[in-house]
């Protein structure tokens, strides 16, 4: 409580935009601050007082998100039916699960994490060349994609590789992580296909229903670096949000910090070696007509670090425009149909720090 009253009840007005600009112009992100040896979290990162007070009232609960073993999924029909049932239950209740025995080797997962750490830890001059907020840059690095829109900046830097419209020419991917990233994306896309088949079956649809909707055609690889934080109680690594994707595959290192909202509590998503976290995004909540849940989640800041995580978002088709909406299975549709472009426009034009983009599309 002391920390909160000392640091945050200081209501002095400061020019936040100037501070944001100064931070942005360093092009060195949060890692740059830590390299300089900051011992206090700068104001732009400090969460509002009301949020910090609320945080004190959360209790920790010892619940675990489901871990689903995919072995035998293609070979054994009964096994597949069991897995479909587990995925259905997890997607309805948590909107989150972890998969093991998914056929991406642990060595590739480790190499992918290492190569992202190497990108963020390479010499400043090379890294700064990738710093950009231009959405037309398919490969770019920044700190806080919503830096100028959010209420509070997060303790995190990110390398993004956007393949929503088309493949990225390999030479645009930074050399230090190029080969591993390309290999990882290929395997993650195959795993996404397997999961979309299972999710279709879990919705009692044809196995290829979601793949035929081209749910996985757009992909974005978002590679986070969470430096150690001197005052983790005052900020977050990633603020509370839902993903806009159909599904997201998340690869996290061994440090932990990811939490999912479940029954009004924050529940830790513990790192499991060799596993991949899968979460349902807003688009699949809509297409499933609310049968599956796009859950709120966040990442705590920590004294421990740096933490590395890699999120692969599988999104639908933006161009040419394609209509998306709830499956037509006789039950009343909870949402109207719309294009991905409508969806993204709503996402970017809604009031700051308001979650619940899906609500704009409710019928």
Give me the residues that bind Ni ion (CB under 5 A), please: 243
346-351 LR contacts (CB < 8 Å, sep 24+): 347/244
Binding partner at 252 among Ni ion, ligand OGA, none, C-beta below 5 to 8 Å by kind: ligand OGA
Neighbours of 181 (CB within 10 A): 25
Which residues contact residue 282 at a Cβ distance below 8 angstroms, ignoring those fewer than 6 apart? 242, 243, 244, 245, 294, 343, 357, 358
Binding partner at 229 among Ni ion, ligand OGA, none, C-beta below 5 to 8 Å by kind: none
Site for ligand OGA in 258-287 (CB under 6 A): 258
The answer to whether the beta carbons of residues 91 and 202 sit under 8 Å apart is yes
Q: Is 1 helix (H, G, I), strand (E, B) or coil?
A: coil
Binding partner at 258 among Ni ion, ligand OGA, none, C-beta below 5 to 8 Å by kind: ligand OGA
Neighbours of 172 (CB within 10 A): 13
Binding partner at 299 among ligand OGA, Ni ion, none, C-beta below 5 to 8 Å by kind: ligand OGA
Q: How far apart are CA 189 and CA 317, in angstroms?
A: 15
Q: Does 315 bind ligand OGA (CB under 6 A)?
A: no
Task: Output the smallest distance, CB 258 to ligand OGA, in A.
Answer: 4
Among 31, 127, 293, 297, binds ligand OGA (CB under 6 A): 297
243/282 with CB nearer Ni ion:
243
Q: What is the DSSP string of 97-124?
A: EEEES-SS-HHHHHHHHHHHHHHHHS-H
Range in contact with ligand OGA (rule: CB under 6 A) among 56-64, 69-77, 250-258, 333-341: 250-258
Among 299, 300, 357, 358, binds ligand OGA (CB under 6 A): 299
Q: Is 276 helix (H, G, I), strand (E, B) or coil?
A: strand
Q: What is the dihedral of CA 217, 218, 223, 229, to 10 degrees?
A: -120
Among 109, 161, 196, 222, binds ligand OGA (CB under 6 A): 222
Binding partner at 31 among ligand OGA, Ni ion, none, C-beta below 5 to 8 Å by kind: none
177/299 with CB nearer Ni ion:
299
289/294 with CB nearer ligand OGA:
294
Binding residues for ligand OGA (CB under 6 A): 222, 224, 238, 243, 250, 252, 258, 297, 299, 309, 311
């Amino acid at each position: 409580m002391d920390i909160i009253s000392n640091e945050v009840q200081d209501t002095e007005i400061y020019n936040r935009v100037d501070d944001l600009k100064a931070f942005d112009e360093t092009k060195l992100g949060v890692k740059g601050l830590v390299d300089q040896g900051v011992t206090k979290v700068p104001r732009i990162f400090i969460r509002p007082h009301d949020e910090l007070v609320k945080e004190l009232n959360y209790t920790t609960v010892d619940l675990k998100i489901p871990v689903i073993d995919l072995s035998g999924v293609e070979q054994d029909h009964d096994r597949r039916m069991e897995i479909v049932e587990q995925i259905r239950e997890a997607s309805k209740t948590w909107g989150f699960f972890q998969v093991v025995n998914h056929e991406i080797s642990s060595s590739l997962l480790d190499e992918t994490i290492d190569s992202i750490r190497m990108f963020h830890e390479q010499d400043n001059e090379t890294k700064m060349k990738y710093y950009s907020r231009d959405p037309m840059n398919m490969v770019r690095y920044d700190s806080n994609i919503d830096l100028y829109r959010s209420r509070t900046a997060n303790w995190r830097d990110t390398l993004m590789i956007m393949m929503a419209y088309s493949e990225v020419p390999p030479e645009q991917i930074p050399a230090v992580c190029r080969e591993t990233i390309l290999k990882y994306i290929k395997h993650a896309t195959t795993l996404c296909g397997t999961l979309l088949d299972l999710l279709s079956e879990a919705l009692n649809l044809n196995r290829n229903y979601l793949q035929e909707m081209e749910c996985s055609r757009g992909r974005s690889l978002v590679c986070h670096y969470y430096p150690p934080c001197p005052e983790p109680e005052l900020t977050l690594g990633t603020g509370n949000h839902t993903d806009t994707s159909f599904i997201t595959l998340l690869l996290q290192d061994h440090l932990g910090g990811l939490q999912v909202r479940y029954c009004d509590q924050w529940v830790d998503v513990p790192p499991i070696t060799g596993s991949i976290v899968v979460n349902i995004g807003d688009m699949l909540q809509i297409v499933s007509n609310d049968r599956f849940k796009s859950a709120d989640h966040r990442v705590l800041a920590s004294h421990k670090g740096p933490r590395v995580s890699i999120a692969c978002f599988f999104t639908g088709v933006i161009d040419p425009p394609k209509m998306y909406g709830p499956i037509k299975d006789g039950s009343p549709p909870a949402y109207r149909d719309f294009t991905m472009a409508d969806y993204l426009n709503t996402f970017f034009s809604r009031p700051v720090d308001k979650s619940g983009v899906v609500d704009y599309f409710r019928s």
